[in-house]
Amino acid sequence: MLTEINFDGIIGPSHNYAGLSHGNLAATRNRGETSHPRAAALQGIAKMRSNIALGLTQGILLPHARPNHRWLASLGTRFEDAPPHTQAQALSASPMWAANAATVSPAPDTGDGKCHLSVANLVTMPHRSHEWPETLAQLRLAFADPAFTVHGPVPAPFGDEGAANHMRLAADHGAPGVEVFVYGISGGPFPARQHPDASAAVARKHRLERVLFVQQSQEAIAAGAFHNDVVAVANGRVLFAHEHAFADKDRFYADLRAMLPEVEIVEVPAAEVNLADAIKSYLFNAQLVTLPSSEMALVLPGEARDTPSVWTWLQDHVAGNGPIRRLEVVDVRQSMANGGGPACLRLRVVCDPATVDPRFLVDGAKLDRIAAVIEAHWPEAIPYDSIGDPALIAQVEAARQALLEALDLSDLLTGNHQI
């Protein structure tokens, strides 16, 4: 039976606030602050526990090797010799944001009836551009069953940021859907990260027929919506978006209704929630999910509840006849301070759970085991000026090794995987 599985990225032991992501206002605003990797990772575990309690199926993706010594070697240096900005780029824990891992097209949408995954190249940002080889290795382990086809990245210079700029709408998870690729052309002072040619290439590789290509508004990117999932999210037949999310929303909405007549478009007016509040609160970077009861719930960061305009709008919506019937608030403040909310932390894959490598699926007991490793090995704090400390690097590397050994995934440690 086809089920939506949320694969959350476990927040790695090198989680720090180096402010590397130009255009991500939270990340740059908190540059230089002291991070708390242990608390961050445990917040992520608590979010996964909350999803399981809601009746959702939960998976994981693993922290990457940090520092990335292979990437540093390709630059002709070693971590201890690299300049501070390169050290920070090599140490980044950004793979925690699994929404950027890949674009996923479930079997009902594809020409060959397989679930297709294309790893994202993330070439726009140096600290993320070296993620894809290890992400691809994990995807090829987790989805090795013949039910899947896992693709390598779109080549540079066509920036591809994965599911953060991709939405799927369908009558239900197992029905044929409409896949929406959102790209950027200009973001004013900030880079537009999703190239239209990258989106088109992924759609071709996935053999999609019912597909829309939609431009994100320059206004949204300039306001700090560096990915579409900061201003829009979709689930089932529901599109939940800000009024200013798209460059030509009228045409997009008309095309979507023509392809999926049962679609419900829930638009938040700018007069009630402006872009600044939407982005600050990550109202749309929430997990919009279908519960076993068939009701839809919105898994929100605490910042949404703390933003009066956002919380007022949400309360009014839930009190009415809208499709979102339940609000679940989670604490992911460590991730939020680096610019990633609940939706950033997960990759959605619609498939039969029996076809997934069970090492990448979790229940309460496995989360207990993961939490114990985190509590024992993750650094409690990383001051910004300590990221080059050899003792910290040794702790970070040992922590990841302990986690992979605990999950029987040491093949990711030894490099026994094919790129």
Could you tell me which residues come within 8 angstroms of residue 386 by beta carbon, excluding any fewer than 6 positions away? Answer: 392
Rounded to an integer, what distance in angstroms lies between the CA atom of residue 314 and that of residue 307?
11
Q: What residue spans of 260-379 are helical by DSSP H?
A: 275-281, 302-305, 308-319, 333-336, 364-377
Pairing of strands 115-119, 102-105: antiparallel
Which positions are annotated as active-site residues? Answer: 161, 227, 344
Q: Which of 204, 229, 199 is nearest to 214 (CA)?
A: 199
Q: Could you please report the per-residue DSSP string of 28-89?
A: HHTTTPPB-HHHHHHHHHHHHHHHHHTT-EEEEEPPPPSS-HHHHHHTT--GGGS-HHHHHH
Radius of gyration in angstroms for the set of CA atoms belonging to the chain, rounded to a whole number: 20
Cis amide bond preceding 157, omega within 30:
yes
Rounded distance between C-alpha atoms, residue 151 and residue 211, angstroms: 19
- Reading the block at residue 65, the tokens are 């090797």
DSSP for 350-387 reads EE-GGGS-GGGEE-HHHHHHHHHHHHHHS-S-B-GGGT
| Residue 292 dihedral angles phi and psi, to the nearest 5° | -55, -25
Strand order in the sheet with 102-105: 102-105, 115-119, 148-151
What would the two tokens of residue 186 be?
């200009």
Residues with Cβ < 8 Å from 132, sequence gap 6 or more?
Answer: 119, 120, 121, 122, 153
DSSP reduced 3-state for 416: coil
